[in-house]
Structure 1
Amino acid sequence: MKKILIFTVGTLLIVSNYSCKKYLDQVPDDRLTFEQVYERKATVDQALANVYSFFPSQNGDRFPSQQGNIGPWTAASDEADYTLPNFSEVVNSGAWDATRNEVNYHWQQFYRGIQAASTFMANVSRCTDCNIGGVDIVNRYYNEARALRAIYYYNLVRIYGPVVLLGNDPIASDAPLQAISKPRNSMDECVDYIVSELEATAAALPATPQSNEDYGHITGSVADAFKIKMLLTAARPLFNGNTDYATLKNQDGKQLINQTYSAAKWTRVATAAKAFLTNPNYASYALYSVSSTPTGLPNTAFNRAFISTRDAMLVSWNSEIIFARGGDVTSYQYSLAPNHLGAPDTDKGGSFLCPSQQLVDAFFTANGLSIQDDPTYTASGTSAYQAPDVNDQGVTRQISNMYVNREPRFYTNITYTGRKWINPQSTIVTDFTFNGNAGKSNISNNDYTKTGYTSRKHHTVSGRNTGRAMFSVIRLAEIYLTYIEALQETNPSDPDILIYLNRIRTRAGIPGYGSGAGALPIPADMRLAIRKERRVELAFELDRYFYTREWKIAETTDTQIRGLNISQNAPGFYTPVVVENRVFQKKHYLWPIPEGERQKVPSIVQNTGW
């Protein structure tokens, strides 16, 4: 009975050799023992790949909390909704609690990854042929696993808040009950541990990939980037002096979330981000941009910005990508592609990932202004307009004025009615109106957009079955945005705020802020301006869900999803309506600790409100 208990708590505290099971099962048990796995580089590589396998995969975004260790981050934020029912729909209804399998899923998966990393670290030195050729593979692999372990803790913390730190040694399968019955550590303890581990690995690993084989592996810059992400989470209001969690204490009275606001936490973020941006070893990173457009697309600044923001997501390991992961993108791109009536499989998807009207309205105009601040913007009527698509030049299309003269990132992210489909071999012009070629009336099942839009970002510039080499996890623009957010909280007069904010806006093809020719006036509310920029720059990159929660604004932003009236043709189609009313309560800022784990380890206290 004790062994069963250890295994089930272990998803929290998993038996030490579980991490090897996935690849050990590939060979007969009488041919490969646990000890032999770590003797040769070939099987050590497999063991390390297993540690990486717990890293969240955005390719599984439409199956949140079921596969790929990815959560409902896109469609449980105000960015979008999924037509295809999944766990995000349950989250948005408020009909979930600590007994849900999905709540337990990430707790289990990340702790399995942590245990797999610790097991790997404890055994990799057994390798007899890893360092042939003078390269210290053992040390490098050890630190990659160490960084991954810290990253998995980071993921746990931003979902559940402060968690249990297991220590550096793997948990033995015969560990006594008292060894695994640990209470939660405080948030500050979790942050300090994660940061110290990432700092140690950043110093021990190559700064950037040294060869083609290194891409997709943790490097020093990746460890530093995740350190910045951890420090940002710790500095934002959710965990920085949040009195909503005054009663969140361990059974011995230990306060889990510090009740005193600390400006020093913002200083740590700013210092770490500035160190990254000025590190000569990271000088190869730069915002991705193009100097010319593809053949057939006029070489204007606007069109260059469109290609730059689009291809920053598509060009493998370009100068902006700090870390990315591979994988099959077929399911993800099926979610992005509209369900075009009668189209070949290459140009027909499920219309699943549906951007909200709120996100559509968040993109700036071509003048660099919010739509409510630009007197040239109107949401009514139509105009003839030429979108910046390579495969759609020489013709203007009559489209809603909502989509006319918007910033390049709008066209990177959103497929709207009247937009030429992305595949250059296709002649399809998407129409989401009721009787349109991707409209509700022409689809016998539920595979139509809920909002009148589908997401376009990340889709290859070809048929939906065409893969790509990587999915961006962290890119330089995020470091810029984090740096200026931290400066705004610590030293709002720092000139770096405008420097780095304007770099993002310039690459995006819109005017910067300042006093020079063509510049826009500096916003009176710079904090809001930074938030607006982050929202559109990092759209569909799993950022918005955590942003609204860490800033404690989700009670305002996550109460409904608005879209177009998909049950009508034009002009009624273009009238925004409420697509979904959502439930968000204070307790939803953090996920509950899985009830099954608390029953097995009663010293783990539940999060506030659950």
Structure 2
Amino acid sequence: MKKIFIYTVGTLLLVGNYGCKKFLDQVPDDRLTFEQQYQRKSTVDQALANVYSTLPEQNQDRSASASGNAGPWTAASDEADYTLPNFTESINTGAWDATSSQVNYHWQNYYRGIQAASTFMANVNKCTDCNIGGIDIVNRYFNEAKALRAIYYYYLIRQYGPVVLLGNDPTQSDAPLEAISKPRNSMDECVDYVVSELNAAAAGLPATPQANEDYGHITASVADAYKIKTLLTAARPLFNGNTDYAALRNTDGKQLISQTASSAKWTRLAKAAKAFLENPGYSSYALYNVSATPSGLPNTAFNRAFIATRDVFLNGWNSEIIFARGGDVTFYQYSLAPNHNGASGGDKGGSFLSPSQQLVDAFFTANGLPIENDPTYTANGTSSYQAPDPNDQNTPRMISNMFVNREPRFYSSITYSGRKWINPQSNIVTDFTNSGNAGKGAIANNDYTKTGYTSRKHLTVAGWTSGRSVFTTIRLAEIYLDYIEALQESNPSDPDILIYLNRIRTRAGIPPYGSGTGALPIPADMREAIRRERRVELAFEWDRYFYTREWKIAETTDTQIKGLNIAQNAPGFFTPVVVENRVFQKKHYLWPIPNGEIQKVPLIVQNTGW
């Protein structure tokens, strides 16, 4: 591990402390020293930006790489597959191990971020012009870095399980190997540390952004949201009494994952989530809704729900977004746009991100029922149907009954064969059948969908070439789902379960559960109902990969991907087939600790099965 820390500090001095290329281009007599770079706010801002730079850029998930610290989460889950080759293929075939470069770069990147945060915290008080107009910028920046350090630990434990806690002081580049050779802490110790640090940081931060320049910075609400995410990971079965990890012990015999399931962990999570939802400082957060539809689209409840669930990701920093990241999204959006034959610009993409048939089938019907429970649903045949697209009214067309009378979130998330393309200036109707305008038959490379669908969620209405201001990281609906899951596991009779679950369903334009007029009967299996709601609401938000593992169901869910028969034209095209068989073993619930780290620090024990 010594190599990691030396490299981290070296990188910080060469990149973080000098901020950008112009500093590297300076002649030696004009170069800022380490001390000087913390004296002025302009260079302190650059150092803080370096701390933020470790946050993963999931808008690059089609090509996970060290540069954006992006993970392969979407297509390594049962949500989707990427036609374009990337590291998800290694995960899905089981062809990866502790020596894989992607395994190593996540580990190293997050520890570099932790080291950068600790270094920043130790030096930011040297700034001589940071407190302007009575605003304590030093204290605020200190707590942003403290929160970021805890967030990086959260990302580590979610991926690797219990890790090594380094302490609060930055590691010196000349520290002897013995001083930095530490064993892994237990999962409970890691969680308690992250929660404590986020609590402390939140106490020194504004509740929500106070000015335009605050958006994208850590606030108290962001810190609390990450605390909830951490407690959720800790409460779920993967880390809460998982006897599969009975042998996961340090060399001194210390148990790293508790072998006793604790309902108190669910209660702790429920209290944290409720405190967030009842915090008067966070009252500005609300589920995103619209009061009217765009011109040309009838102003019905169904259509308003479609626009709301589409535009919550497109309408900047709206009331639902707790945390988001900026950056270029065209690379990601190109993956969503079908490769329409003969089209150009934003109308012709790569068709790379291919939603699974399992996900398509998870969306409810317009009646708010699972497709298997709705007698009006059929997957056979076709019907004349009008999708709720503003640019496609008064032109119903024949489409597969699989896509008829589905809930609004289905139409805001999935592009299917027979759907009008999203660009209002386009006349394209997407056809994924083999000989269709986006079908595999006329495409010689990998620019086709493997499942007969592409994702529509996150895509701007003008097509993939049009940018948007932010890429959502955490939003209020996720906090609702975390809260009701915690209540279901700790106090299933709590009325808040239905209250918050129904808020999500009502915004989604489907009937609530309960006994009122128009309500559906309360599901007998509420745990499964909550999980299904989560799958649909948070589709393509990099959640599914982790929660199938944290629920310990990935051995069932992650063994194959189904889709439509893209080698056929209609009607054979609409017959679901197995697109890809996948390898999932028990050891895959956690990533391995990089082999190089264990070789350098033998006190670090490897995860079970690796």
TM-score, normalisation: structure 2: 0.98
Q: Which moved more, 1:63-72 or 1:101-110?
A: 63-72
1:566 Cα deviation after fit: 0.3
Q: Which moved more, 1:158-167 or 1:459-468?
A: 459-468
1:135-146 matched pairs, under 5 angstroms = 135-146=135-146
Q: Deviations over 1:149-197 (max 9, x none)?
A: 0000000000000000011111111111111111100000000000000
For residues 136 and 8 of structure 1, the distance between their equivalents in structure 2, rounded to whole angstroms, comes to 34
Q: 1:421 to 1:30 in 2, by over 3 A?
A: farther
User: Paired residue for 1:30?
Assistant: 29
For residues 599 and 545 of structure 2, the distance between their equivalents in structure 1, rounded to whole angstroms, comes to 29
For residues 474 and 585 of structure 1, the distance between their equivalents in structure 2, rounded to whole angstroms, comes to 30
1:17 aligns with 2:13: yes
Letter in 2 for 1:445: N
User: Paired residue for 2:219?
Assistant: 219
Q: Is the 8 A contact 1:19 1:113 kept in 2?
A: no
1:454 Cα deviation after fit: 0.3
Secondary structure at the aligned position of 2:267 is classed as helix
1:330 Cα deviation after fit: 1.1
For residues 326 and 46 of structure 1, the distance between their equivalents in structure 2, rounded to whole angstroms, comes to 16
1:14 Cα deviation after fit: 7.2
Q: Is the 8 A contact 2:9 2:173 kept in 1?
A: no
For residues 10 and 233 of structure 2, the distance between their equivalents in structure 1, rounded to whole angstroms, comes to 27
1:66 Cα deviation after fit: 3.9
Letter in 2 for 1:462: A
**Amino-acid identity (%):** 78
1:298 aligns with 2:294: no
1:221-370 matched pairs, under 5 angstroms = 221-370=221-370
User: Paired residue for 1:506?
Assistant: 506
Q: Deviations over 1:527-560 (max 9, x none)?
A: 0000000000000000000010000000000000
1:6 Cα deviation after fit: 2.7
For residues 56 and 556 of structure 2, the distance between their equivalents in structure 1, rounded to whole angstroms, comes to 28
1:35 Cα deviation after fit: 1.4
1:20 Cα deviation after fit: 1.8
1:9 Cα deviation after fit: 5.6
User: Paired residue for 1:125?
Assistant: 125
Q: Is the 8 A contact 2:273 2:479 kept in 1?
A: yes
For residues 538 and 53 of structure 1, the distance between their equivalents in structure 2, rounded to whole angstroms, comes to 25
Q: Is the 8 A contact 2:65 2:102 kept in 1?
A: yes
Q: 1:368 to 1:14 in 2, by over 3 A?
A: farther
1:132 Cα deviation after fit: 1.8
Which of 6, 10, 15 is equivalent to 2:2? 6
Q: 1:274 to 1:264 in 2, by over 3 A?
A: same
Letter in 1 for 2:455: S
Secondary structure at the aligned position of 1:67 is classed as helix
1:26 Cα deviation after fit: 2.8
1:12 Cα deviation after fit: 7.9
1:349 Cα deviation after fit: 0.6
Q: Deviations over 1:477-502 (max 9, x none)?
A: 00000000000011101000000000
1:23 Cα deviation after fit: 2.0
Secondary structure at the aligned position of 1:474 is classed as strand
Secondary structure at the aligned position of 2:547 is classed as helix
1:38 Cα deviation after fit: 0.8
1:133 Cα deviation after fit: 1.2
User: Paired residue for 2:81?
Assistant: 81
1:101 aligns with 2:87: no
For residues 173 and 105 of structure 2, the distance between their equivalents in structure 1, rounded to whole angstroms, comes to 21
1:24 Cα deviation after fit: 5.4
Q: 1:9 to 1:49 in 2, by over 3 A?
A: closer
Q: Is the 8 A contact 2:17 2:37 kept in 1?
A: no
Q: 1:113 to 1:19 in 2, by over 3 A?
A: farther
1:13 Cα deviation after fit: 8.2
Unaligned runs of 5+ in 2: none
For residues 167 and 29 of structure 2, the distance between their equivalents in structure 1, rounded to whole angstroms, comes to 32
Letter in 2 for 1:212: N
Secondary structure at the aligned position of 1:561 is classed as strand
Q: 1:239 to 1:22 in 2, by over 3 A?
A: farther
For residues 270 and 61 of structure 1, the distance between their equivalents in structure 2, rounded to whole angstroms, comes to 31
For residues 10 and 556 of structure 2, the distance between their equivalents in structure 1, rounded to whole angstroms, comes to 39
1:16 Cα deviation after fit: 6.0
Q: Is the 8 A contact 1:143 1:205 kept in 2?
A: yes
Letter in 2 for 1:106: H
Letter in 1 for 2:19: Y
For residues 47 and 531 of structure 1, the distance between their equivalents in structure 2, rounded to whole angstroms, comes to 41
User: Paired residue for 1:202?
Assistant: 202
For residues 445 and 319 of structure 1, the distance between their equivalents in structure 2, rounded to whole angstroms, comes to 42
Secondary structure at the aligned position of 2:548 is classed as helix
Letter in 1 for 2:29: D
Letter in 1 for 2:178: Q
For residues 22 and 595 of structure 1, the distance between their equivalents in structure 2, rounded to whole angstroms, comes to 32
For residues 574 and 406 of structure 1, the distance between their equivalents in structure 2, rounded to whole angstroms, comes to 17
Q: Deviations over 1:553-573 (max 9, x none)?
A: 000000000000000100000
Q: Deviations over 1:451-471 (max 9, x none)?
A: 000001000111211100001
CA RMSD of aligned residues (A): 1.2
Letter in 1 for 2:408: P
Letter in 2 for 1:217: H
Q: Deviations over 1:68-115 (max 9, x none)?
A: 111111000000000000001110000110000010010011111111
Q: Deviations over 1:415-472 (max 9, x none)?
A: 0001111111111110000000000011121110000000010001112111000011
For residues 374 and 9 of structure 2, the distance between their equivalents in structure 1, rounded to whole angstroms, comes to 55
Q: Is the 8 A contact 1:16 1:173 kept in 2?
A: no
